Structure 1
Amino acid sequence: MPPPGGRPATLHPGSGPDGRPGPAPRRRRRPLRRTLLVMLLGAACCCGVPAYFAWPASHQYPVTANLPDAVADLNLRNDAAAKRTTGRLQQELRDTGLAADEVFGGAYGDGHGKRVTIVGTTGLRLRPEADLEAELLHLGGDYKLGDLASYDLGEAGAHERCGVGRNGGSAVVVCGWADHGSLATVLLTRRSIDESAELVGVLRDAVLSRSG
């Protein structure tokens, strides 16, 4: 029955016939497909990506470095000149701040005058490629490096680069490798850059061993 005055009562949306609030309208449910998609994306972000980056690190760290007496056609040299050279390079590596745990170094030679000097460090590296670039940039001025090229070590998270330079009046190839557990530079004489890069991969496999 209309109220006094003859104007009918106005019912607002959501109110009952007696003017009191009625039940709230139901919210539309999100489609199940969208919910599942969000869950899958969250799992990928939280689990998949870190696992991808963690696998190379767990494979490459921790490691120890031991210089074998012979590698390929090379023999480890223990003369005073070799010790002076490797000692100087080891100190230079420490001075760069790139040295982590253990610093190692040695010089090799064959019966035909070919020389190989290796200096490196073990320890955890979160950005091995950037560390390798920093080390080669440091050496680039001393050896006037040019024609830098990247080489594939066949292992995720491991990087190798080589360039041609000068050491005094002689040509020298300077190579470096870095992974999540080690970094090293290698100086090689009387070898092409491709031959040097291949030998550096052999040296890396011979020098490093898993310690974990």
Structure 2
Amino acid sequence: MSQPPSNPYPGSYPPPQQPGGYPSQQPGPQYGGGYPPQQSDPQYGGGYPPQQPGPQYGGGYPPQHSDPQYGGGYPPQQPGPQYGGGYPGEQPASHAGSYLESGQPSYGAPAGPPPKKSNVGRILLITLAVVVVLCLGGGAVLVFAAKDKVGDVVDATKTRLVAPATLAGKPKVTDPQLTSAAEQMSAEMKKDVPDATSTVGAFYGNPAKKDLVMIAGASGVLADPKKELEDGAKSLSSELAVTTFSPVDAGPLGGDAKCGDGKIDGSPVGVCIWADRGSLGVIIMYFKSADDLKSQFATMRGQIEQKG
């Protein structure tokens, strides 16, 4: 009997593959390194990667019992969402502008009710007007002091203005805005009237109950108190819309005084101003008339002005 040829496939053609497109089991797979996995998951064109990727193969035939690689027979799964970090599905936090100046995060909470309208604005307008009046009047200290008699100058220099703890039974206001305004008022007068022997600025009463009094003044030598009084009254008439200033009793401290009704931002104010050889001062009663202030003027001035 004749023997079959040792190479039944003559020529340079390679032996046919196994039916179904699977490669023959021989020769065995060649691995790039390490130990081959027992089972290899199929590799798809997209989708989620396997939890534990197998080693990469350097070439040759895939390992035994390997599932077929699909070149396009099955559509790839839809790729899952790409996560930049953290937990899946979280929206990335945007930190641009998310912190206020205080350093606290902004959560977009609805704003609270609008704040109640404050009277501080109109009060500060009056404060500014008074500072202007007193600084203009106090300028006379520099101009006319040299013309005064020595005895009058000595008496005038003993006068001081102070802010008492209470004024006609009204406590000193501790509101930060009003306290700051009073301090700035006094500091401004000291700067503009360097020869003043004292300056004063303070608020008394209870602003929440529309019970508020402001005092302001400077002490020093005034050569012509009557003129300073008239100049101050004219300036206050312009700034506070005072229609008429009427003379009133200046009280036991002497000098001259006037009071009148004013208005600022629609609210009434009672205004009294005094001047003597040693001081120029103003008392303003908010939300009241000049008649309300006149009855207490002499008492209030006596608690503010002190003569040595």
Is the pair's TM-score, using the shorter chain for normalization, greater than 0.5?
yes
What pairs with 1:11-160 in structure 2 (closer than 5 Å)? 61-87=157-183, 89-90=185-186, 100-110=196-206, 112-155=209-252, 157-160=254-257
Which structure would you say has the larger Rg?
2
Identity %: 23
Q: Where do 5+ consecutive residues of structure 1 fail to align?
A: 1-52
Structure with the greater relative contact order (CA < 8 A, sep ≥ 6): 1 or 2?
Answer: 1
Report how far residue 161 of structure 1 moved: 0.8
Report how far residue 123 of structure 1 moved: 0.7
Per-residue CA deviation, residues 125-160 of structure 1 (Å, 9 max, x unaligned), is 121111121122222222111121110124485111
Report how far residue 54 of structure 1 moved: 9.1
Letter in 2 for 1:70: T
Contact 1:62 1:124 (C-alpha < 8 Å) held by counterparts? no
SS in 1 for 2:223: coil
Superposed CA RMSD in Å reads 3.0
| Alpha-carbon distance in structure 1 between the residues aligned to 2:235 and 2:154 | 28
SS in 2 for 1:140: helix
Give the total of aligned pairs: 159
Partner of 2:302 in structure 1?
205
Greater displacement, 189-198 / 136-145: 189-198
| Alpha-carbon distance in structure 1 between the residues aligned to 2:195 and 2:234 | 15
Report how far residue 115 of structure 1 moved: 0.6
Per-residue CA deviation, residues 145-201 of structure 1 (Å, 9 max, x unaligned), is 112111012448511111111121211112111111111111112333123123222
Contact 1:99 1:121 (C-alpha < 8 Å) held by counterparts? no
Contact 1:61 1:180 (C-alpha < 8 Å) held by counterparts? no
| Alpha-carbon distance in structure 1 between the residues aligned to 2:217 and 2:304 | 10
Residue 123 to residue 143, structure 1, CA distance change in 2 (3 Å):
same
Q: Where do 5+ consecutive residues of structure 2 fail to align?
A: 1-148
SS in 2 for 1:142: helix
Residue 128 to residue 83, structure 1, CA distance change in 2 (3 Å):
same
Contact 2:267 2:287 (C-alpha < 8 Å) held by counterparts? no
SS in 2 for 1:164: strand
Partner of 2:285 in structure 1?
188
| Alpha-carbon distance in structure 1 between the residues aligned to 2:292 and 2:194 | 27
Residue 117 to residue 210, structure 1, CA distance change in 2 (3 Å):
same
SS in 1 for 2:306: strand
SS in 2 for 1:202: helix
